[in-house]
A and B are shown apart, each in its own frame.
Chain A
Amino acid sequence: MTAAARPYNFDRFDRQHVIEDVERTMRGAGVAPGGFAPDFSLPAIDGELFTLSAHRDRPVLLRFASYT
């Protein structure tokens, strides 16, 4: 199975995930400093919609986290 065919929500963590994380780090995946942060609107846990671009009054520390 190729990396592209692997589902985003995977059932089992495996060695290929480790390899993909290392590869993404080495090639600089993500938004480089100086680039504009992609805007998004996502629900908060209370159901309210949070829009990134609506919060420019102060810097934002945006962290991506998993429960597991």
Chain B
Amino acid sequence: MYAEVGHAVRFVDVVVRQGHPGPAVPAYRHAAQKRVDAIRFVREEDIPWDVVIDELDGRVHAQYGLLPDPAYLIGTDGQVAFYSYWTHVPTLRDAIATLLAGGGKGVIGEQRLPHPLAALADGWRAIARGLPQSADDMEAAAPGSTLVLKAGSLAKPLLAPWSLTSRHWSRPRVAAALLIIGVAAVGLSLVRSSRQLRA
């Protein structure tokens, strides 16, 4: 998306707290730790736009809602034009096109629901940096989720292009997808538990 609209829209990432800490990526205690990870983030994700580092106590993150992965489209008048609670590229692309068509100002709306495909395709990447603790904690918080995310990671070559073009789903469709993912997660978790018991 940056290649398409980066000339017309300034992209800025704010690096916040560790979402899934682990031995190699512990919770931040000093600003210097956060800067090291921000530099890694830019390098590993090959990010060409501005990346800034939030204060240690997450002051700016808190002002903007404290969610894990939100994106705000801000007009040239300083007003929030569009709020994507869970960053979704196709929805943001549409919002950017609408905003630019309106001269860079205006209120477009918000998108609250996460997009299951995007979460499936990219969810494992962050967890993988904090192994093994990050996966253990994620699994304890949401049983089966790590297996589903790992499967999504393996299927990423198929899922990623689809997630970048898939339009936002209706509430019933999101609910059905989350239900299927939940059932799959619980099923995988049960299978793994029974194998561990037999071993």
**Residues of A participating in the B interface, judged by any CB pair closer than 8 Å:** 7-15, 17-18, 20-21, 24-25, 28-40, 42-45, 50, 52-53, 55-68
Contact = CB atoms under 8 A, between A and B. Distances in A.
Contacts of A18: 141-142
B12 A60 contact: yes
Contacts, number: 227
Contacts of A37: 72, 74, 78-80
A30 B1 CA distance: 24
A27 B9 CA distance: 29
Contacts of B14: 42, 62-65
A27 B110 CA distance: 13
20 contacts: A9-B17, A11-B27, A29-B66, A29-B67, A36-B80, A45-B35, A45-B42, A53-B78, A58-B104, A59-B8, A61-B71, A61-B72, A61-B96, A62-B74, A63-B11, A63-B71, A64-B68, A66-B16, A67-B15, A68-B20
B140 A58 contact: no
Interface string B20-58: 111001111100000101111110000000111111111
A10 B72 contact: no
A61 to B, nearest CB: 5
B94 to A, nearest CB: 13
A14 B83 CA distance: 26
Interface residues on B, range: 35 or more
Contact of B41 (A8, A38, A44, A65): A65
Which of A33, A57, A67 has the most B CB atoms < 10 Å from its CB?
Answer: A67
A42 B50 CA distance: 11
Main secondary structure of the interface of A (DSSP, over half): loop
A67 B37 contact: yes
A67 B56 CA distance: 14
Given A40-B60, A59-B76, A65 B140 contact: no
B62 to A, nearest CB: 8
Contacts of A36: 78-80
Given A13-B141, A61-B96, 14 more contacts: A7-B27, A8-B57, A13-B138, A14-B140, A25-B85, A29-B66, A33-B79, A34-B80, A45-B52, A60-B12, A61-B11, A61-B71, A61-B74, A63-B12
